[in-house]
A and B are shown apart, each in its own frame.
Chain A
Amino acid sequence: EDQVTQSPEALRLQEGESSSLNCSYTVSGLRGLFWYRQDPGKGPEFLFTLYSAGEEKEKERLKATLTKKESFLHITAPKPEDSATYLCAVRPGDSNYQLIWGAGTKLIIKP
């Protein structure tokens, strides 16, 4: 069964304290792994798409990496404005664009 698990559920960091969020997945034929950021009361905002093991992508303080079993979202020297829920999703090989979603990690950055 296709499944996505994110950990931790919540993470509190001090401003400037780097850390990583985890997204573990089991899927038949990965066609893509996606990271989104969601602020309260808003729709998810696209961050990254990763397609194959070893791939990395960066955007400002965020860096996403992918292995055959999991993906990490590394946050370097975070700022309070990075506080949000980070969602991970995968697209199985046989899906019509449908995504399997993780439950999300709520990140809180304290000044």
Chain B
Amino acid sequence: GAVVSQHPSWVICKSGTSVKIECRSLDFQATTMFWYRQFPKQSLMLMATSNEGSKATYEQGVEKDKFLINHASLTLSTLTVTSAHPEDSSFYICSAPGGGATDTQYFGPGTRLTVL
């Protein structure tokens, strides 16, 4: 149980284009999901908290207009990197609390974004 999927697993795009990453909870509902980015040899950096049916909450320093988050259903959150630039190249990972009374967050497999 508590499986989280992400799509795509990797994407390469040209500078200036937009990229959408999907995060799905497969066997549970998630009113809250989290989006992280991770640079090589570094730990996870929380970017934003995605709330179903309401606006996302962004961490300090994260541009809301650049990283658009939509949590349209209880099983799907999307992160769109708009007008991507090479400095946006990173490993993006989503997570969700596993449901019920558990506090445990379960993570997706991650999406490797490379912007040329």
- A interface residue numbers (CB < 8 A to B): 31-32, 34, 36, 41-46, 49, 87, 91, 96-99, 101-104
Contact = CB atoms under 8 A, between A and B. Distances in A.
Interface bin, chain B: 20 to 34
A34 to B, nearest CB: 7
Contacts of A45: 107
Nearest to B106: A46
Interface of B: 2, 4, 6, 32, 34, 42-44, 46, 49, 91, 93, 95, 97, 102-110, 112
B107 A43 contact: yes
**Which among B34, B95, B103, B106 has the greatest number of chain A C-beta atoms within 10 A?**
B103
A97 B103 contact: yes
Given A97-B32, A101-B43, A43 B93 contact: yes
24 contacts: A32-B104, A34-B104, A34-B105, A41-B110, A41-B112, A42-B110, A43-B107, A43-B110, A44-B93, A44-B95, A46-B106, A46-B107, A49-B103, A87-B43, A87-B44, A96-B49, A97-B32, A97-B34, A98-B46, A101-B43, A101-B44, A102-B43, A103-B42, A103-B43
